[in-house]
Amino acid sequence: MMKKVFERVYLALLLIFMYAPIVTLIVLSFNSSKSRAKWGGFTLNWYVNLMSDEAVASALVNTLTIAVLATVFSTIIGTFTCIAMIGISKKMRSVIMGITNIPMINADIVTGISLMLLFRFLHLSSGFSTILLAHITFNIPFVMLSVMPRIKNMNFYVYEAALDLGASPAYAFSKTVLPDLVPGIVSGALMAFTMSLDDFIITYFTKGSGFETLSTLIYSEVKKGIKPEIYALSAIIFVVVLVLLFIVNRAPASKTNKK
């Protein structure tokens, strides 16, 4: 009995520590007083102001453009890499997976700085294209991580069965291998989109000047002094990412429940 109570209290404390800052942020985004210490009544003004803010609007467009393009490219590259790995030995496969996982476990700041140095070295002018390249780079491992288990569990006799029944290799692939991979590809793409959407550090080091995404915009605004509009913006980003992550986690489950 005591143990149970203790467990509950512990869990509650844990959740409070984790979510108190975000809850504070969301509450403040509806606070009509600019003060962070006192509640001045409920308002949607900050959200309304946000809509008319041109800097925010252009940063939003930049963020979404980069996230969508980075997702498309990294999903294609990651998926094809996984498919290509069907043909190689198990040992080689784990070596390649190890190498592709390094950017994921590497500190963002190291990845960011090394990408920045590489782009300088190659004389690529910083801006949209360098951010896009950086995002594609760090997204590929996430796509591969979610597609690879599907490849491992695949019954390749199904592909051979399609060939056996007269299908060309391309038709057999699209009818047998691809449908099996789709759930993995979808969750990989959502994961990549989420990662791209909320990345700050790598973007910051590869963006150059004069180009802002939402995260870098928030950072530079915060340096100038905190405006409540930023609370609103952060709250929106939090909710969007939360929803995406929720979908990612639900996607494989709904696939297996299907009759």
Partner 1 sequence: MGKDLITLEHITKSYDGTTILDDLNLSIYENSFVTLLGPSGCGKTTTLRIIGGFEKPDMGRVIFDGQDITSLAPNKRQLNTVFQKYALFTHMNIADNIAFGLKIKNKSDAYIRDKISYALKLVNLEGYENRMPDSLSGGQQQRIAIARAIVNEPKVLLLDEPLGALDLKMRQDMQYELKRLKEELGITFIYVTHDQEEALTMSDHIVVMNQGYIQQEGSPEKIYNEPENAFVADFIGDSNIIRATMVRDKLVDILGAKFDCVDTGFGENKPVDVVIRPEDVELVAPEAGTIEGVVTGLTFKGVHYEMDVMANGYEWLVHSTKLSEVGSKIGIKVDPFNIQIMNVPESEDEEAISETV
Contact footprint for partner 1 (CB under 8 A): 155, 157-158, 160-169, 171-172, 175-176, 179, 259
Q: Which one, 40 or 179, has the nearer CB to partner 1?
A: 179
Instruction: Tell me whether residue 27 or residue 161 sits nearer to partner 1 (CB atom).
Output: 161
Q: Minimum distance from CB of 183 to partner 1 (Å)?
A: 11
We find the least distance from the C-beta atom of residue 167 to partner 1, in angstroms, to be: 6
CB of 95 to partner 1, least distance (A): 18
Q: Give a three-class secondary structure readout of the chain.
A: CHHHHHHHHHHHHHHHHHHHHHHHHHHHHCECCCCCCCCCCECCHHHHHHHHCHHHHHHHHHHHHHHHHHHHHHHHHHHHHHHHHHHCCHHHHHHHHHHHHHHHHCCHHHHHHHHHHHHHHCCCCCCHHHHHHHHHHHHHHHHHHHHHHHHHCCCCHHHHHHHHCCCCHHHHHHHHHHHHHHHHHHHHHHHHHHHHHHCCHHHHHHCCCCCCCHHHHHHHHHHHCCCHHHHHHHHHHHHHHHHHHHHHHHHHHHHHHCC
Task: Give the nearer residue to partner 1 in terms of CB position, either 154 or 241.
Answer: 154
Write down the least CB distance from residue 75 to partner 1, Å. Answer: 21
Question: Is the CB of 178 or the CB of 242 nearer to partner 1?
Answer: 178
